[in-house]
Amino acid sequence: MRPAEGGRRGPARVYRNDWTGLHPPDPGCWTPRLSVSTVVTALGGERLDLTLAALSVQTYPAHLHDVLVIAADDVALPDDPGESVRVERVPAGTGAAAACALGARLAEGDIVCWLDAGMLVDPFYAETHARWHHLRPDCVTLADVLSARDVPADPADVAVMALSGGMADTLGGEGACADRDALLDATGDLAEADDRARRAFTRSACAVRTALYRAAAGTDPLGEGELADRLWTAGALFLPDRDAPAWSTGAAGTALPAADAGRTRPPRVRAVVDIGGADYDMVRGCVDRLLDAGEPDIGVDLVADWEGERVSEEALLELRLVQAAYLADARVRFVPDPPRTGFPSPYLLQLPVAWGLSPDTLGLLTDRAERAHAGVVELVPESAPTPGAGVRLWRTRALARALRERCQGERLADAVAEVYGRYRIQAGEGTLVDLTDPEACHYRSEPLRTGAGNTGADGYVDEEEDEDARLPRPEDGGEPVGGRGRHDGDDGDGAEAEAGDGRVRALIAAARTSVAGAVRACAAPLRFLR
C-alpha cells in the first residue's frame, strides 16, 4: 500500500504482474458486496445441465449471483434450469466470440464470470474469483483448468458430489493444457511473467470486472487472443488461482489461445504531436521524420484546434496546409485533444513538435522498452529547443494502471516508474534534430504512403536488429545514442503538391510567397476532419 496525500490509503500497488503481495480472504471468511453474473455459453454438444447443476450450489450469496445462459437455438435446455438462471437464445452457428460479447453486454453483475457449457466447478468457484475483484478492480482471474476423469451422468449427482467436497477426488486433477501449465510453472503462476502472460488467458473459465471488460473490449465480438491483448494492454492484472478449479468434460479450454484469423492489429506505437502554434514547415519536419522512422507500424495523432475556434486566421491556414499534406495517409489522425493513453496500441510516444527523430531513434526506444520491460523510456537531450521538451515512450499498460492508481499531486512518470519501472537514455549527437533551425525543417518524407507498411502474418513488420543498438546502462547512466537525420536540399513543394488537388497546390504556393496573401486568396477553405 502507498499512502496518498492527506492520509488516504491508495490501492495496493502491484509491480508489473507480481500479484503475490495481495492477500485475499479465504473462502467463507468474508462478506461479499459485489454482484456476480456467471455467463455460460452453450453453442452445441456440451452438457449444459451438468454445469448448471454445479452452479446451483455456489456459496456466493444468492442475492448477489445470477446465471446467464447464451444458448444456440438448437441446444436443449434442462427442464428446470433454476430460478436465478436467465436464458438468451442466439442463432445456431453463432461463434464463441459473439456469444461471450453478448453475455458481457447483458450481464447485470459487477463481475462477469465466464464458463463454457460442460465445465464443472466446485461450490466456492464464484466466491474464489470474486474475492480478488473486491481487492482490485483490474484483476483478470483465471481458473485452474483441469481434465475431468469420471463425469457423472446425472446432474443431481454433480450437485451431491460438489456439496460433499469430493469433486477433486472424483474428477481428477490433471491439467487440461500442458503448454499452459508449463507457462504457469515457469513464471510463478504469471507473477514473474512479461507479455507472455496473455497466452495463459482462457475465456472458457475466467472472471473480470464488467466495467473493465466493457472499457477494454467495447461491444464488438473479439477472438480470445485479441481479448487477452486488450485486457493486458488496459493494465489488467492476470491472476491464475489454483483454488478455483474448473474441470473440462470435453475439448473446452484445452489449448492456448491461437492467433485470431484475419485480425487487424492496432499500430504498435501511437505517437502524439501537439502542433498548436507551430508553423507548417516545422510540423512537416517533425511528422515526416516520424513517419519515415525505423518503426513502420505507427499511428500519429496531430493535436490542434482543427475547428479554428481559438486560433488566428494565419494559424488556421497553417493547420489547413498540414491537414492537406496528410489527408491521404491512413496513419495520421487529426484530434483536438491528446489521448490519455495509447490504447489499444501497446506504446504511446510523446514527441514535442520542435524535435525531429533520426531514422533509428524510435526503433531504439521500443527496443529498450522491450528489453528492460520498462513502463516509460525517457530520451533526455543535452539541451532542448523549448523548456521541458523531452521525448517519452510510455508503455500503455503501465500508463493505464498508473492513471488509475496515482495519488493526488503525484507525478505521472513517478507513478509509472513505481508500477513498471523507468529507463532513461542520454541522447547523443544526431539522435534528435532541433527544428527551431529553419534549415532542419526542409526534411520531406518519401512518396506518400496510404497504409502502414508491409507487415508479416502477425500484423507486425519484421526487421533485422540494428547492430548499433547496444543496450545502454539503465536509469540516468545510459549510453548516448546516435543517428543521422536526413536533410533534403529541395523545399518539398513537389511532395506537398501530390497530397491534394490543384486548389491545395495553389494554397501551398501562396503560403511560400506570403502567408497573409494566401489567407486572403483562400475563399473556400478545406473542410476539417475531426
- As a three-state string, the secondary structure of 444-507 is CCCCCCCCCCCCCCCCCCCCCCCCCCCCCCCHHHCCCECCCCCCCCCCCHHHHHHCCCHHHHHH
How many Å separate Cα 431 from the centre of its chain?
Answer: 29
Indicate if 269-445+468-516 has the same CATH topology as 32-248: yes
The whole-number pLDDT of residue 467 equals 29
Q: Using CA atoms, how far apart are residues 472 and 329, in angstroms rounded to an integer? A: 34
pLDDT score recorded for residue 447: 52
What tens digit of pLDDT does each residue of 10-59 get? Answer: 557 899 999 999 999 999 899 999 999 999 999 987 889 999 999 999 99
- pLDDT at 439 (0 to 100): 78
What distance in Å separates the CA atoms of residue 429 and residue 484, rounded to the nearest whole number?
A: 8
Q: What's 187's DSSP letter? A: T
User: Angle 147-151-155 (CA atoms, 0-180°, nearest 5)?
Assistant: 130
CA dihedral 37, 106, 253, 250 (to 10 degrees): 90
- In 329-431, the DSSP E strands lie at 332-335, 347-350, 355-357, 376-380, 391-395, 422-426
CA dist 215 and 238 (Å) reads 17
Q: Identify the pLDDT of residue 388.
A: 55
The top-level CATH class assigned to 32-248 is alpha beta
CA angle (216 as vertex; 179, 398 as ends), nearest 5: 75
Q: In Å, what is the CA distance from 136 to each residue of 11, 208, 405? A: 7, 10, 11
Which residues on adjacent β-strands are paired with residue 271? 300, 349
Q: Does domain 269-445+468-516 have CATH number 3.90.550?
A: yes
Residue with cell 445470477: 66
| Residue range 348-367, pLDDT digits in tens | 999 999 999 988 899 989 99
User: Would you call 230 helix, strand, or coil by DSSP?
Assistant: helix
Per-residue confidence (pLDDT) for residue 308, from 0 to 100: 78
Closest CA to 288 of 499, 410, 448: 448
What is the predicted pLDDT for the residue at 375?
A: 96
What 3-state DSSP class applies to 347? strand
Residues of the chain with pLDDT under 50: 1-9, 251-254, 448-530
**CA–CA–CA angle 253, 256, 258 (5° rounding):** 110
Domain residue ranges in the chain: 32-248, 269-445+468-516
pLDDT for residue 166: 81
**β-pairing, 65-72 with 36-42?**
parallel
